[in-house]
């Protein structure tokens, strides 16, 4: 007798529910995962014989002496003069039409030097109000645009020399962004 054995049918697994469960597990682990935070504390051993030193709560104000330097013209460029303002409190005016030490008469040089001596005394007075310590004071020479750019180099250097005469060595300069072009430079001469 011939027995027939039926071949088993191929059975297939339905993968859709398994994929759904895997995705749900991935989402669950992603949402519940917590990363370890970085330990921001530094382990150190402090000396036993010293305590904590207090730090001043507010920094010490920087003591500044600020000169603003302008170029002013009277009737013509040949009568132009340099105006110097000390912290917007005092004003000094260098002689009009100044051409330089070598080109000026002895009387005009004395006038120029007298103004610089007055500026030097004002600086000494201002430093005395700050405790008389020039090292603790910072100087600043500012030539704000538009009239600051035309200040002659010699006037700025003379002002810098007054700072050096009183012992103020920490000086900052601030001027115009663009130098004078050739036409402006020729008109100022």
The tally of domains found in the chain comes to 1
Asked if pLDDT for residue 77 goes beyond 70, the answer is no
Question: Could you tell me which of 98, 131, 129, 102 has the C-alpha nearest to residue 116?
Answer: 98
Within-domain flag for 117 = yes
Task: Find all residues with CB under 8 Å of 95, minimum gap 6, and list them.
Answer: 81, 108, 111, 112, 115
Mean pLDDT of 36-61: 64
Asked if pLDDT for residue 79 goes beyond 90, the answer is no
Give the dihedral sign, CA 115/117/123/126: negative
Within-domain flag for 98 = yes
- The pLDDT value recorded for residue 85 is 85
Query: For the segment 62-75, what is each residue's pLDDT rounded down to a tens digit?
Result: 678 888 888 777 66
Within-domain flag for 11 = no
Within-domain flag for 171 = yes
Asked if pLDDT for residue 7 goes beyond 60, the answer is yes
Asked if pLDDT for residue 25 goes beyond 90, the answer is yes
Query: For the segment 97-115, what is each residue's pLDDT rounded down to a tens digit?
Result: 777 778 888 888 888 888 8
Pairing assessment for the beta strands 137-142 and 90-93 based on DSSP bridges: unpaired
Chain-wide mean pLDDT for the chain? 77
Instruction: Pick the more confident residue, 125 or 148.
Output: 125
Within-domain flag for 143 = yes
**What is the reported pTM?**
0.58
Pairing assessment for the beta strands 81-86 and 63-72 based on DSSP bridges: antiparallel
Domain that holds residue 173: 63-188
């Amino acid at each position: 007798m011939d027995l027939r054995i039926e071949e088993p049918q191929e059975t297939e697994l339905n993968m859709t529910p398994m994929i759904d469960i895997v995705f749900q597990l991935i989402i669950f682990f992603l949402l519940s995962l917590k990363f370890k935070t970085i330990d921001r504390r530094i382990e150190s051993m402090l000396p036993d014989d010293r305590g904590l030193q207090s730090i001043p709560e507010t920094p010490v104000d920087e003591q500044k002496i600020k000169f603003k330097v302008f170029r002013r013209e009277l009737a013509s460029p040949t009568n132009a003069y340099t105006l110097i303002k000390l912290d917007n409190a005092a004003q000094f005016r260098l002689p009009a039409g100044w051409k330089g030490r070598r080109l000026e008469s002895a009387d005009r040089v004395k006038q120029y030097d007298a103004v610089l001596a007055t500026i030097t005394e004002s600086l000494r007075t201002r430093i005395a109000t700050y405790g008389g310590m020039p090292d603790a004071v910072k100087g600043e020479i500012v030539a704000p645009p538009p009239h600051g750019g035309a200040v002659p180099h010699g006037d700025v250097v003379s002002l810098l020399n007054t700072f050096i005469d009183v012992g103020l060595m920490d000086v900052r300069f601030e001027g115009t962004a663009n130098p004078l072009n050739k036409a402006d430079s020729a008109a100022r001469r």
